[in-house]
Structure 1
Amino acid sequence: MHDVFELPAFELDGGAVLDPARLAYKTYGELNGTRTNAVLFPTWFAGDHTSNEWLIGPGKALDPREHFVIVPNLFGNGVSSSPSNTPSPHDAADFPAITIRDNVRAQHRLVTEHFGIERLALVLGCSMGALQTYQWAVSHPGMVERALPFCGAPRTSPHNAVFIESLRATLTLDAAYEGGRYKAQPLAGIRAFARVYAGWGFSQAFYWEETYRQLGFDSLEEFLTGFWEANFIGQDANDLLAMLRTWQDADVSATPGLGGDIERALGSIRAEVLALPAEKDLYFPPEDEVRAARHIPHGRVRPIPGIWGHLTGGGGNPADAAFIGDAVRDLLATPSPAALEPARP
């Protein structure tokens, strides 16, 4: 179960208007009387609020007995406004482009207008959730006390964009796709999409060591079908493409007023930032975070060791989950520079 926050006549960065935009979200725990225990945990590509629950619960890093955790669903994921659930004229292939900034603006309205929250103790997220985390820290520097992006970056690199292009081409070249006006899901394209993704989601060492056997698969082919194809086969093709576009265009330096200057954008962050890149992530490599942290006044980087690659951030490997959980606890225990300074108007 989840709730929906409706935003009437919500104007997107590209000029299109969703009337209404529907932001699906789920909360865990209770907001305290001073409204100071709120944590925002946006979702990642093709995930929903349940995808983040591995880090939420009694005794876990995000304990609902202490924190009020808000998990907003990414636009395009099939739960919030998406090609698959939006009526004409913005349905299917006519769904407008949505940016990371659009997601953050909608989330900001949820947090401030619906919940009356003025400060967020922590914003965190994996992959596209990390892109949103960085955007929150740039767009609302006086509101975000701490930020923990993991397996992500402040913008999508050219190499990452090439990966995204391969996914888009693989899916849309299925004849059944029919320009996005398909009568049935283009399943051959989606299966091919999943197999392209399989070569990037985990590291080379993960496959060398046949680590997929730890997940219950006896062969590589079983893993490709039972893990990767199964992960995407229930997704809507236009939803996948909408999220890809959001991902590909992500760049905090494109925030209005920053003139495309990435160093200026990162330098404007006032939060205590702890970035957790995965050691062997193939499309958000640690180097991206190390370069970014040099320009963040209170920025630190703590690489997650191991061979799970980008999927390090998915909570499926107990060692990685424990590493991330410990980092969340450490950061929440760290005094926040933003909390010690007056918020910007």
Structure 2
Amino acid sequence: MRVGAGDRAAGRFLGSLPFAMMAVIAVTDVLAGPGAGFLPLLSLGPAFASLSSSARRTAWIGLAALALCLALAVYDELIGSRQNFLTLLSIGGVTGAAMLASASREGKERELHDIRTVAEVAQRVLLRPVPRRVGPIHAAVSYTSAAARARIGGDLYEVVTTPGGVRIIVGDVQGKGLDAVETAAVVLAAFREAAFDEPDLPSVVLRLEKALGRQLTGEQFVTAVLVEIASERAKARLLNCGHPPPLLLRADGHAEFADPPDVAPPLGLASMTPVQASPYEIEFGPGDRMLLYTDGVIEARDDRGAFYPLADRSDLLRAHDPQEALDALPHDLVRYVGGPIDDDAAMLLLRRRQ
């Protein structure tokens, strides 16, 4: 699990909070003098410790609170009094409860870490490395994981070489967690087979729909865009199933989105609407680039709530080497957000060779 600078700072703050709290209470009690009644507040030390400390560390902080209470009781001339006995009893009780809370929290954190680790490993196994040169294109991929507190997503991508050229898919599974990873596995497995076997993109989508029909339940779905690039033609054929349109970067510097002529439903929802996905062609000649991405890119927001302006950042993708160009975009995305992004962001950059 990745830990950012913000998480480390928060951890240091929570770790020092119990000691700071007990120090403030002790100073206040000394300045206020005997009879002020601040000693029971020392139980806040172990109580705050349970937020981030282990059960053992919480116990040591509780013992420190008891020792500090005894020292202050001597100063306030309360040793042996009924008030002091009740104060010590309350600190001990709060320490015991805080230890139980710490142990419970640690167990849940370990369980969550294990689940995230399994999901992340499964995701990495599914998303195989993309070859830098495949058919008539150069390719580069970037996968920016969400913040550690976010759930694992179902972003997917694949590039398959066929006898007629290259077929590509980039998609995003609705939902999060292991279910999303499992659905992504179904889509990728079906695409890897169908990309070789089927004569056109609609037939590939039909195979994906059949595979998902055995997997999805209710109103779950997968948005995806499929691309077919033939070796002998300076064109690309696309089929968009409810996914954000690719960004085209022409060799002459012009940038535009490859919007589909008709709105088609995402994968898994075809049976609920009469509208079917139709392929469409675009010019994709030597030197042209195409960026395929998931909604984690365009739905990222800055501190004012403004979405990431992907089209305005197209100049970042002009470097000759596609991987070098694509490496710049995730860094700019994180800078724009001002920290870790809230959703996974997959990006695939294709450049047609000269």
Settle same-fold status: TM greater than 0.5: no
What band does the TM-score fall into relative to the shorter chain?
under 0.3
Larger Rg: 2
TM-score normalised by structure 1 residue count:
0.26
TM-score normalised by structure 2 residue count:
0.26
More strand, by proportion: 2
